[in-house]
Amino acid sequence: MVSQPVLRCEQELPYSDRSTAGPVLIAVIGGTGLQSLAGYIPVAIVNPKTPWGYPSSPIHILKHNGVPIAFLSRHGAHHEIAPHEVPSRANIAALRSIGVRTVIAFSAVGSLQEEIKPRDFVVPDQIIDRTKGERFAPKELVA
């Protein structure tokens, strides 16, 4: 039997109702523009402290078609964190602490191709992964 995750809140908004969130298994890490998409209902805001400090922004828990989804702004709530200052370990640990098991991460970059316009969604067929072989978190935190 899978236990229900406990949401530890440091900060809540008036619409917070953690009892209706249910287990939050999916998270999206992206830019600030993804927080307010049509069809997503705000449920709670949590800001769990981790061994690496707080995440880059409070985690917004939204529901879409009855499914709770956590959203985390990678560069802060107001895009104030530079790429090299993003607390990646705190972000992943915070998501893990609320029960997340799947993370979908979006990145926004520019293009030099005229046919690719702002807001176009592109899946690259070539990628340079500079994290391959690096250990992201200590073994004791990985379940």
Q: List, in sequence order, the alpha helices (H) in the chain.
A: 88-97
Identify the pLDDT of residue 138. Answer: 58
Give the SS3 label for residue 39: coil
pTM check: above 0.75: no
Residue 7 has pLDDT above 50, yes or no: no
What beta strand segments (E) does the chain contain? Answer: 26-30, 41-46, 59-64, 67-73, 102-105
Residue 94 has pLDDT above 70, yes or no: yes
Residue 26 has pLDDT above 70, yes or no: yes
Identify the pLDDT of residue 44. Answer: 92
Contact 61, 22 (CB under 8 A): no
What average pLDDT does the structure give for the chain?
78
Helix (H) or strand (E) segment spanning residue 97? helix 88-97
Residue 95 has pLDDT above 90, yes or no: yes
Mean pLDDT, residues 104-111: 78
Longest Cα–Cα distance of the chain, Å, equals: 52
Mean pLDDT, residues 125-140: 65
Level-2 CATH architecture, domain 8-107: 3-Layer(aba) Sandwich (3.40)
Identify the pLDDT of residue 2. Answer: 40
DSSP label at residue 10: S
